Structures are given as C-alpha cells and as structure tokens.
Amino acid sequence: MNRDEALALLYEYTQTDQLRRHGLSVEAVMRAGARKYGGDEETWGIVGLLHDFDYEKFPDQHPMAGKPILEARGVPEEIIYAIQCHADFTGYERRSAMDKMIFAVDELTGFIIACALVQPNKSLSEIKLSSVRKKLKDKAFARNVIRDDIWKGMEELGVDFDEHVQFVIDALKPVAHEIGLNP
C-alpha cells in the first residue's frame, strides 16, 4: 500500500473533515518520527494516516474492525499491528519504535491541535510548553483526550515531556494549513 491508496481508504471510510485532518496530522508526526528513529517514512506515515480509518463506521469495534479490511487489501502485517497498538485496550504489546510512536503521538497530536485552536491566530508557533502542561491538568479542556495515554506513551517511548511536545508541534507545522491551523 502506498500513500495514495491509504488516503483513498481513509476517505472511503471517514466522512468528517475533523477525523480526516486527525489522520493527516498523525501521519505528519509519524513521518517525522520515522526520520528521528530511523524508520521507513512511508510505512510510518501510512500507520498515522490509517490508525483511525474505521472509527466512524465501527466506533464500538475500533480498531479491531479495521484489521480484516486492511488484511483483505494486502496491507503489510507491521502496519496492521502498529494500528492495533495505538489503542491500549486491544492488548497488543508495543514492540517496535513504530508501535510505540503511534501510541505516544495519537492523543497528544489531537491535544496540541486543540491548544493551537484556542490561540488568537490558531498558530502552532503560539503554543507554550508550560501552557500545554497546564491544559493537560484541566480535565474540562479537550475532555475527550485520554491523558493517561499521553503520559504512558511518553514513558514507553522514553522521551521527556517538553522534548516530545515540541517534537509534535514542529512535526505539525509543515501541514498546519491542511489541518486548519497556522504554522
């Protein structure tokens, strides 16, 4: 599967712009992660793009419902496995750097976008690390974000909070306009 095929699959199963933008944003962060950790950028990007592709159609069975769809399309096992790893409740052990990265960036990417959206210019450059930390403690802000996954993901990846948050912010800047933000 290449990026064009993955994007077509995302659009086939995902109708809302918000979830499509989430896929694009996580793809950008995963590609940056591949560069940082020596992974294959295309493979990591596809994991990011497709990690939630089945959520709208099968919210109660996500991400397990997507597995047979991906298998039927001949998607490589390492991509399918990593996608299953992004949800802690599936019980999949995160073994590779790619598995750990998708878990460590999924919820955080959405949270950082929420932080940018409340900035006057909807700009990633306006986000302060101290503000992200403070907003994480405010359960009412971006209340659908699973904060425990953010902390657990950073721990499993072995990264510092400030370093990881800045990494995600920087990785999002090249696609800022595509996801409704300013760099």
Per-residue pLDDT tens digits for 103-151: 999 999 999 999 999 999 999 999 999 999 999 999 999 999 999 999 9
Domain tally for the chain?
1
Transcribe 70-84 into DSSP letters.
HHHTT--HHHHHHHH
Per the structure, the complete domain to which residue 116 belongs is given by: 3-177
Rounded-to-integer distance, Cα 106 and Cα 157, Å: 13
* Overall pTM > 0.85: yes
- Tens of pLDDT, residue by residue over 18-65, are 999 999 999 999 999 999 999 999 999 999 999 999 999 999 999 999
Whether residue 38 lies inside any domain: the answer is: yes
Note whether residue 183 is domain-resident.
Answer: no
Q: What CATH number did the domain enclosing 146 receive?
A: 1.10.3210
DSSP H helical segments within the chain, as ranges?
3-13, 17-37, 41-50, 66-72, 77-85, 97-117, 129-137, 147-157, 161-172
